[in-house]
């Protein structure tokens, strides 16, 4: 019986050594979670029969260190959760390794070529994400590889201080070609429906007494006068009193494009004494642009970057959490699959519910504690030697017994 008991101990220690060796071998593997072999006793009724490995515990809840990479498509999870991927067969696998890229078809994939799952953006007929539409359908995340269409300008925002020290121009009436007929001018860039760039120039003309609290604004589009002049009226505190709504300005129809008009918003403009300043001069709209890069945001957004400087959110990476993460089944390529023990995956966005937040530009390292593993390795060696000593001792006792008989 002692032979079998010592042999069971050796077999159990060999299994424990496999676990320790695997931990040490994966000490440099990104996203790896260490395991621990748990010994348990064996009995036949009340008679001891040895030892065995009763279970193997995964330390999934223990996070690894974070290595900064600076790469826009690298991300680590701070807290619970797994990135969700699908392999070529459509089976879901879960991983903590956030090393992503876009393949030739525009799909977001992990370092093993599996498609990353997430909520795709809701797109309009031209392929532009619909603002405020929320999360789209859950599936393979894809970033369109074509150009982003041009968007015509519809708004022009101006904020500044039109000096109260101005005097009414000596030359009247206003003429865009005569600087003596206006006090100041400002050029803004707008885009038509084809993405062609145009200029809108505003000419500010201080009004003579008794309307000294008024400034007339004249407009030109690509050098040609357009629209009717607008009048900005300021109160005795230097704040803009009228207009209270944006000024509608029709700019005409550029060649080959749709009719162009913008709403000019002067909210926040003042008339204080001192220097004339321009603090906001912004328009919406942009020219067409080609895709130049893709990056992740901390909330899991997949952001497409275009050559025209625009950025569009094309989707959101999803994270999966489980009722019992220790019940996940380890797979190759540092990933796991669900089981009856783990329960079904619960999907969410990073930082919501039980899912942890993302740290972009970093990768989670292995959580293996080398010091602890080496101590366990030495302990296993001593236990192995002790069990072999039991076998050797019993063998000697049996030989002595046989010789005595």
> What does the DSSP 8-state code read for residue 29?
S
The domain locations on the chain are 2-61+366-404, 66-148+290-364, 155-283
Task: Encode pLDDT of 278-318 as tens digits.
Answer: 999 999 999 999 999 999 999 999 999 999 888 889 999 99
pLDDT tier, 1 (very low <50, low <70, confident <90, very high otherwise): low
Q: What residues does 187 pair with on adjacent strands?
A: 201
- What is the overall mean pLDDT for the chain? 92
Which residues are CB-contacts of 380 (< 8 A; sequence separation ≥ 6)? 13, 16, 17, 20
Q: Which helix (H) or strand (E) element contains residue 330?
A: strand 329-331
How much is the pLDDT for 384?
87
Please tell me the least confidently modeled range out of 100-104, 186-190, 370-374, 396-400.
396-400
Task: Encode pLDDT of 370-393 as tens digits.
Answer: 999 999 999 989 988 988 888 888
Which top CATH class is 155-283? Answer: mainly beta
Share of the chain above pLDDT 70, in %: 98
Taking 70 as the threshold, does the pLDDT of residue 127 lie above it?
A: no
- Which pair of structure tokens corresponds to residue 35? 């395991």
Compute the chain's Rg from CA coordinates.
Answer: 36
How much is the pLDDT for 390?
83
Question: Which residue's entry shows tokens 């994270």?
Answer: 319
| Of 26 and 403, the one with more pLDDT | 26
Question: Residue 162: which of 100, 89, 230 has the closest Cα?
Answer: 230
Q: Are 190 and 153 in contact (CB under 8 A)?
A: yes
How much is the pLDDT for 389?
87
Question: Which residue's entry shows tokens 């937040």?
Answer: 357
Which residues are CB-contacts of 400 (< 8 A; sequence separation ≥ 6)? none
Question: Residue 23: which of 326, 370, 327 has the closest Cα?
Answer: 370
- Which pair of structure tokens corresponds to residue 219? 């407009």
How much is the pLDDT for 394?
78
How much is the pLDDT for 50?
87
How much is the pLDDT for 148?
84
The Cα–Cα gap between 215 and 266 comes to 12
Task: Encode pLDDT of 23-49 as tens digits.
Answer: 999 999 999 999 999 999 988 888 888
């Amino acid at each position: 019986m002692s032979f079998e008991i010592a042999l069971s101990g050796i077999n159990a220690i060999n299994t424990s050594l496999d676990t320790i060796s695997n931990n040490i071998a994966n000490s440099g593997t990104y996203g790896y979670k260490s395991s621990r072999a748990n010994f348990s006793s064996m009995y036949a009724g009340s008679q001891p029969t040895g030892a065995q490995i009763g279970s193997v515990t995964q330390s999934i809840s223990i996070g690894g260190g974070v290595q900064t990479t600076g790469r826009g498509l690298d991300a680590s999870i701070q807290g619970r959760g797994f990135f969700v991927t699908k392999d070529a067969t459509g089976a879901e696998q879960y991983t903590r390794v956030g090393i992503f890229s876009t393949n030739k078809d525009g799909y977001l994939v992990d370092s093993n070529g599996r498609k990353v799952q997430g909520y795709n953006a809701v797109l309009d007929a031209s392929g532009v994400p619909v603002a405020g539409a929320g999360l789209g359908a859950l599936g393979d995340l894809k970033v369109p590889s074509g150009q982003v269409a041009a968007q015509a300008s519809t708004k022009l925002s101006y904020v500044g201080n039109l000096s109260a020290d101005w005097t009414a121009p000596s030359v009247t009436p206003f003429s865009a070609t005569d600087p003596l007929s206006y006090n100041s001018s400002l050029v803004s860039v707008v885009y038509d429906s084809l993405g062609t760039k145009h200029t809108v120039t505003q000419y500010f003309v201080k009004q003579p007494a008794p309307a000294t609290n008024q400034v007339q604004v004249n407009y030109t589009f690509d050098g040609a006068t357009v629209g009717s002049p607008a009048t900005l009226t300021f109160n005795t505190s230097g704040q803009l009193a009228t207009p209270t709504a944006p000024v509608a300005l029709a700019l005409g129809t550029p060649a080959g494009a749709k009719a162009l008009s913008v709403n000019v918003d002067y909210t926040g403009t003042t008339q204080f004494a001192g220097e004339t300043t321009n603090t906001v001069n912004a328009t919406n709209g942009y020219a067409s642009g080609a895709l130049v890069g893709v990056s992740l945001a901390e909330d899991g957004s997949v952001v497409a970057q275009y050559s025209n400087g625009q950025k569009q959110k094309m989707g959101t990476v999803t994270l999966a959490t489980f009722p019992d993460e220790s019940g996940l089944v380890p797979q190759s390529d540092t990933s796991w699959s669900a089981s009856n023990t783990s329960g079904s995956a619960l999907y969410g966005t990073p930082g919501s519910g039980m899912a942890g937040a993302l740290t972009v530009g970093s990768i989670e390292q292995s959580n293996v504690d080398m010091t602890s593993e080496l101590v366990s390795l030495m302990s296993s060696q001593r236990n192995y030697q002790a069990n072999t000593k039991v076998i050797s001792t019993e063998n000697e006792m049996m030989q002595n017994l046989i010789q005595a008989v």
